[in-house]
Amino acid sequence: MTAPLAGLRVLDLTSGPAGGLATMILSDFGAHVQRFPDPEYAELSEMVSARMWLRGKEIAHFPFHDVVHEADVVVITTPHGFSGCDFTSLHRMNPQLIYAEICALPGYPDIPVMEPV
């Protein structure tokens, strides 16, 4: 039986549990998820719960801009340490891309808010 999201390519530019859980569910349903860790939030990957929300993902060791044109979905959390990953920039690279941004405080994207699950 084919998984419902088989063939879907997802770029995970998230840090922390909120984005990690969202992309974990996409992976659980068959999407191919490539994770691009943000070095600024590396300590979040050391959380005990990280083993759960990081499962099923390929860790990418190349710039995410190299694969944006092949992706179907990008999921990001704000604030993030990636330049050029706003909707306008990514839409220019791939007009069909689905852009999902998770922000703890809408309207205040530069305030770092992290809460362990």
What type of residue is 53?
A: W
Whether 23 and 73 have beta carbons less than 8 Å apart is answered as no
Report pLDDT digits (tens) over 17-65: 888 899 999 999 999 999 998 777 666 777 777 788 889 999 998 888 8
Whole-angstrom distance, CA of residue 81 vs CA of residue 18: 17
Residue 98 in any domain: the answer is no
Residue 94 in any domain: the answer is no
Residue 64 in any domain: the answer is yes
Show the domain range for 26: 13-81
Residue 75, CA atoms < 13 Å, CB-side half-sphere: 25
Report pLDDT digits (tens) over 80-110: 656 778 899 999 999 999 999 887 777 776 6
Residue 77 in any domain: the answer is yes
Residue 7 in any domain: the answer is no
Residue 46 in any domain: the answer is yes
Question: Beta 32-35 vs 57-59: how paired, if at all?
Answer: parallel
Q: In the chain, how many domains are there?
A: 1
Residue 100 in any domain: the answer is no
3-class state of residue 94 by DSSP: coil
pTM score, whole prediction: 0.85
C-alpha closest to that of 42 among 86, 81, 100, 84: 81
Whole-angstrom distance, CA of residue 77 vs CA of residue 64: 15
Residue 89 in any domain: the answer is no
- 15 has pLDDT over 90: no
Whole-angstrom distance, CA of residue 3 vs CA of residue 87: 28
